[in-house]
A and B are shown apart, each in its own frame.
Chain A
Amino acid sequence: GAGVSQSPSNKVTEKGKDVELRCDPISGHTALYWYRQSLGQGLEFLIYFQGNSAPDKSGLPSDRFSAERTGGSVSTLTIQRTQQEDSAVYLCASSSEGGGRFGNTIYFGEGSWLTVV
């Protein structure tokens, strides 16, 4: 498709279960980002990929969170042993190489709404 695609769009899971969120970036975009948007918390950076490597994973909140990217394209964000505080919208974004550093536009997907009950 033309934009950043994320799945699932909505996920309800039980506390303690693992979840996987998928992101399909815009074709040809080498930079990929994951952000989290919680009510009252704004937009929180999680991890950045350039190609398949992650030079900046400083925003991952705990070791329950991990992400990978394969083939320089699709990325998966995995949350293990989910907790209620993980409930949020998880946003994926992509851009051409260098991302915001060169003023390139970073394009966002519609997000995956995660609710942990």
Chain B
Amino acid sequence: GNSVTQMEGPVTLSEEAFLTINCTYTATGYPSLFWYVQYPGEGLQLLLKATKADDKGSNKGFEATYRKETTSFHLEKGSVQVSDSAVYFCALSDGRSFGNEKLTFGTGTRLTIIP
């Protein structure tokens, strides 16, 4: 079946540090890949997505590139801010057929940025 493995947390960084959160996946077919973010006290919201190999999703200074050869979708940001403190979830949606529209999530990575 489909699965997503993401970097264990928690991760603590200083402001302006470089961020990488690793995400790898297992899927048959051609999944779409997503990063969702959950800020403290808020609901899940889409951060970025990529729907085919070599696509790069980007938003709010975050980027992730869909790498089919390494089955990865690592999240990066060049300079993090305190406001980026949140839980980040990597997810995939199987592209094969009707009825497979759900998102399969990783376990989440809690990120804390200290000033």
Interface residues of A (CB under 8 A from B): 31, 33, 42-43, 45, 48, 50, 55-56, 91, 93, 95, 98-103, 105-111
- CB-CB under 8 A from A103, the residues of chain B are 32, 49-51, 93
Q: Nearest-CB distance from B55 to chain A (Å)?
A: 9
- CB-CB under 8 A from B44, the residues of chain A are 43, 91, 93, 108
A99 to B101, CA, bound (A): 5
Pair A99/B45 contact, Cβ less than 8 Å: no
**Which residue from B42, B51, B103 sits with its C-beta under 8 Å from A106?**
B103
- CB-CB under 8 A from A33, the residues of chain B are 102-103
Measured as residues with beta carbon below 8 angstroms from the partner, the interface class of chain B is: 20 to 34
Report the number of A-B residue pairs with Cβ-Cβ less than 8 Å.
Answer: 77
Q: Does B25 contact A (CB under 8 A)?
A: no
A105 to B33, CA, bound (A): 11
In the complex, residue of chain A having the shortest beta-carbon distance to the beta carbon of B46: A105
Q: Does B61 contact A (CB under 8 A)?
A: no
A112 to B107, CA, bound (A): 20
Pair B46/A100 contact, Cβ less than 8 Å: no
A100 to B101, CA, bound (A): 5
Q: Nearest-CB distance from A6 to chain B (Å)?
A: 9
A107 to B46, CA, bound (A): 7
**Which residue from B34, B89, B107 sits with its C-beta under 8 Å from A100?**
B34
Pair A99/B93 contact, Cβ less than 8 Å: yes
